[in-house]
Structure 1
């Protein structure tokens, strides 16, 4: 059995490996590193605001702003003022984004299939449930630290 401290290593390795593969495969679509994450969320949540998007993918505002700006320049997103508050910019996918989205979605399904190879349906569902719990735990700490607090080890 793995020690508690070692559980995060394979999670990190999996995330980095799949992110690296995706960045290589999506380069042909003019998506820079990690931009596929933004594109997917914007396609799945048209009209999302930058702050919600940053929280969803666990990045700071500056990182999200930089990626969104580049995606806007490359024609993947359309920024529109909110109907009630003109300062709020809502993010919508362009045709270019919706054309790329199905390929990214297929890659995600394939990566899930590969990652879960050899696991039963029951094991896969249990793993999903446990990882969602781990994600919730980490999200709470992420929010805490993001607000300027320090965790006590």
Structure 2
């Protein structure tokens, strides 16, 4: 069997490394840009949904969100109906950086797909979504404290 996940991992690490270098001038490090993009695209999202969207545990999300708040990229606001819930919103600083992050993502996406036809892009997109959905099943299972049986 081909080791597809190794290829996906190399791609993800290369792009993450590029982004961490290029976003350093904006004081965004260690993948914080992923959180900021999702908050900009989903203002008012709660931390738990954000962690689920990015596929990280709550502790990792909490740490990144805390740093984004300290650095002035996001605000936490109380929910009107439930004071225990904190909603996440981009600040003006966060909104100002978002277009650059989006532009970098679009550029990386374009570079990754050079030489692919529209139909090939559609196929690879659909296949990767299927892979993600397969992995999400185990992610949910393990996240709940279960062990996978190899």
Shorter-chain TM-score: which interval? over 0.9
Is 1:30 equivalent to 2:27 in the alignment?
Answer: yes
- Distance in 1 of aligned mates of 2:53 and 2:127: 19
Deviation of 1:124 after TM superposition, in Å, equals 0.5
Is 1:128 equivalent to 2:125 in the alignment?
Answer: yes
Picking from 6, 9, 31, the partner of 2:6 is: 9
Picking from 83, 87, 98, the partner of 1:86 is: 83
Q: TM-score, normalised by structure 1?
A: 0.96
Q: 1:3-152 maps to which residues of 2 (within 5 A)?
A: 3-4=1-2, 6-152=3-149
Structure 1, unaligned stretches of length 5 or more? none
**Per-residue CA shift, 1:78-130, capped at 9, x if unaligned?**
10000100010000000001100000001000000110111111000100001
Deviation of 1:59 after TM superposition, in Å, equals 0.7
- Distance in 2 of aligned mates of 1:64 and 1:140: 20
Structure 2, unaligned stretches of length 5 or more? none
- Distance in 1 of aligned mates of 2:83 and 2:25: 35
Deviation of 1:152 after TM superposition, in Å, equals 1.3
Counting matched residue pairs gives 150
- Distance in 1 of aligned mates of 2:98 and 2:68: 14
